[in-house]
């Protein structure tokens, strides 16, 4: 499946949410499908949620953006070119494997807008990266480049620019060569061991995000972003 709003940097809007939801429902429901790839194309994965309209309401089976709260049984691979920021990175964090081109960048820039990543990025990132690297990303809002991400074990395969999707397809072929039931059972066990029960993490994340949306710094962060200037934080 491909995010196809390149003119809007593949910002996550209701159309993308419904498209992802439909594609992943088909993946789960079709017994002939064993693996899927999500990509943003050859220039950018996604710069995050569309600030003008938002990602739309949660879907019944996938939650936010049709994926964030989804319980999947089949492998999902992210093929990343260019930026995967904010909600874009949080989609990548929902995937089981990551293939990225050398020009890919991963980040959670929300603190620069007076917010925090609220699609699970803060706590899921801490499971996928060493603790200090996760803290670095969520506290600075800076990006992690693909080369460093591969070295840290976040990216499985790194490619030349433009090669992420082909490499992801080759990886999917390697998965699909195996017995599908064995793959699903193995995936379920390893993901349960990694993620466990996220209920408390979601409660804490939702409460913290709600508090931040009521601050003056949040309003200033959004204004500064839209006006293309540096924010003036008040700490209020």
Q: Is 90 a catalytic residue?
A: yes
Q: Where are the alpha helices (DSSP H) in the chain?
A: 14-29, 87-93, 121-128, 131-140, 146-151, 164-176, 180-195, 199-212, 216-226
| 28/24 Cα distance (integer angstroms) | 6
Nearest to 72 by CA among 63, 80, 81: 63
Pairing of strands 83-85, 76-80: unpaired
Q: Give the single-character DSSP code of 105.
A: E
- Can you name the residues that pair with 38 across neighbouring β-strands? 78
- Can you name the residues that pair with 32 across neighbouring β-strands? none
Pairing of strands 83-85, 105-107: parallel
Q: What is the DSSP code string of 74-103?
A: S-EEEEE-SEEETHHHHHHHTSSEEEEETT
Q: Is 110 a catalytic residue?
A: yes
Nearest to 118 by CA among 87, 154, 83: 87
Active-site position among 6, 7, 60, 110: 110
Active-site position among 42, 90, 160, 220: 90
Residue 197: CB partners within 8 Å, gap ≥ 6? none
Which residues form the catalytic set? 90, 110
């Amino acid at each position: 499946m491909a995010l196809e709003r390149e003119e809007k940097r593949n910002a996550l809007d209701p159309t993308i949410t419904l498209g992802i939801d439909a594609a992943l429902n088909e993946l789960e429901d079709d017994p002939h499908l064993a693996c899927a790839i999500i990509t943003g194309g050859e220039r950018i994965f996604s710069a995050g949620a569309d600030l003008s309209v938002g990602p739309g309401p949660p879907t019944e089976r996938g939650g936010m953006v049709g994926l964030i709260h989804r319980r999947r049984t089949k492998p999902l691979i992210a093929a990343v070119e260019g930026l995967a920021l904010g909600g874009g990175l949080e989609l990548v964090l929902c995937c089981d494997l990551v293939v990225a081109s050398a020009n890919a960048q991963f980040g959670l820039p929300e603190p620069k807008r007076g917010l925090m990543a609220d699609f699970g990025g803060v706590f899921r990132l801490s499971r996928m990266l060493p603790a200090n690297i996760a803290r670095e990303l969520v506290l600075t809002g800076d990006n992690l480049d693909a080369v460093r991400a591969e070295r840290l074990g976040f990216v499985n395969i790194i490619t030349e620019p433009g090669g992420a999707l082909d490499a992801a397809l080759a990886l999917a072929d390697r998965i699909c060569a195996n017995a599908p039931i064995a793959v699903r059972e193995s995936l379920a066990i390893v993901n349960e061991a990694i993620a466990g029960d996220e209920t408390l993490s979601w409660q804490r994340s939702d409460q913290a995000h709600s508090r931040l949306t009521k601050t003056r710094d949040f309003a200033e962060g959004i204004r500064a972003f839209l006006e293309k200037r540096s924010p003036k934080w008040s700490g209020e």
